[in-house]
């Protein structure tokens, strides 16, 4: 904040005096032409005092901005859900479970407490466990918490809706995801890595609820077997945040929005030759300001 400058103008006294020098009149008291006449006496002008210029009133100082409230590790909670090994007849993914592990490691590196991260993968990632996990996330939320829900796995698209696909082939609708995450108090981030992922933003995103999706509602999402990760988690969480690739301004901190801007075009480029469905284009909506996982602002 730059201090205000004040200028005070001090008034003075202005004096004026007129002196008439060397005036020759052609007619002065009957004197002949060419004779010097009488120089009339000019009385001095009266002294005029000027009033001091009033000092300008100082502008009111702007109110100081409130210090942002950052959620400490005890006020950060995460539910991570990922499935690689599905029960028959559903075919497996390449790295749904490992995606969840990558997200967990990213949070731990950002100072999160391990006992505040619930991770459900493979056999533990049932439909009932998903419902209970979301209830757990809601129950630990408050006006001062930051909460994250991440999903990696298959997505079922049917009758104009999208469904999370648990290991036991039960389904959790987009509207249910929205209802659950809007019940989470404080600030939250919902991260979906799966086909047609943007369809889960069923009125969810707003200033308190950030939403990111690995692909548009009419697009597939892809995995990279060489990375043992989905393309989106590999670009966003691993390369962008965990390894610092998205630190484009060099401040040694990567916000989620910064990572998204860096990772989204890379994901589209990596998948540009996919046939017959074409590339994936990640989506982001909601949120307020820049979100840092190591210092999430909640107020």
Round to whole Å and give the CA distance between 249 and 296.
Answer: 19
Element (H, E) at 133: helix 127-139
Where is average pLDDT lowest: 34-48, 218-232, 266-280? Answer: 34-48
**What confidence category does residue 44 fall into, taking pLDDT thresholds of 50, 70 and 90?**
low
For residues 260-286, give the mean pLDDT.
97
**Residue-wise pLDDT tens digits, 171-192:** 999 999 999 999 999 999 999 9
240 exposure class (CB count in 10 Å sphere: 0-12, 13-18, 19+): buried
Are 155 and 195 contacting, i.e. CB atoms less than 8 angstroms apart?
yes
For residues 100-120, give the mean pLDDT.
98
User: What residues does each domain of the chain span?
Assistant: 73-222+281-285
Residue bearing tokens 């999208």: 162
Q: What percent of the chain has pLDDT over 70?
A: 80
DSSP state of 200: G
**Has residue 25 got a pLDDT over 80?**
no
**Has residue 258 got a pLDDT over 60?**
yes
| Structure-model confidence comparison of residues 269 and 32, the more confident one | 269
Report cis status (omega within 30 of 0) of the bond before 89.
Answer: yes
Round to whole Å and give the CA distance between 88 and 79.
Answer: 25
**What confidence category does residue 66 fall into, taking pLDDT thresholds of 50, 70 and 90?**
confident
Are 118 and 149 contacting, i.e. CB atoms less than 8 angstroms apart?
no
Class of domain 73-222+281-285: alpha beta
Q: What is the pLDDT of residue 37?
A: 45
């Amino acid at each position: 904040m730059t201090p205000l400058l004040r200028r005070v103008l001090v008034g003075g006294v202005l004096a004026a005096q007129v002196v008439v020098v060397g005036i020759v009149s052609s007619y002065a008291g009957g004197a002949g032409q060419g004779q010097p006449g009488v120089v009339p006496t000019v009385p001095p002008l009266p002294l005029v005092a000027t009033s001091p210029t009033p000092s300008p009133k100082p502008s009111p100082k702007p109110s100081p901005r409130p210090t942002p409230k950052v959620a400490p590790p005890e006020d950060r909670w995460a539910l991570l859900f990922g499935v690689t090994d599905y029960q028959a007849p559903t075919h497996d993914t390449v790295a749904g479970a490992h995606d969840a592990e990558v997200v967990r490691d990213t949070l731990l590196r950002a100072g999160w407490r391990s006992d505040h991260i619930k991770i459900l993968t493979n056999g533990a990632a049932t439909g009932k466990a998903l419902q209970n996990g979301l209830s757990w996330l809601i129950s630990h939320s408050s006006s001062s918490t930051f909460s994250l829900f991440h999903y990696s796995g298959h997505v079922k698209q049917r009758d104009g809706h999208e469904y999370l696909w648990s290991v036991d082939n039960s389904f959790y609708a987009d509207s249910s995801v929205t209802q659950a995450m809007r019940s989470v108090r404080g600030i939250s981030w919902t991260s979906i890595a799966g086909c047609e992922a943007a369809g889960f933003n069923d009125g969810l995103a707003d200033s308190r609820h950030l939403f990111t999706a690995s692909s548009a509602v009419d697009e597939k999402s892809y995995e990279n077997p060489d990375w043992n990760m989905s393309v989106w988690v590999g670009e966003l969480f691993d390369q962008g945040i965990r390894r610092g690739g998205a630190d484009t301004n060099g401040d040694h901190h990567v916000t989620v929005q910064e990572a998204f801007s860096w990772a989204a075009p890379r994901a589209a480029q990596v998948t540009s030759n996919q046939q017959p469905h074409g590339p994936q284009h990640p989506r982001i909506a909601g949120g307020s300001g820049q979100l840092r996982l190591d210092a999430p602002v909640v107020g």
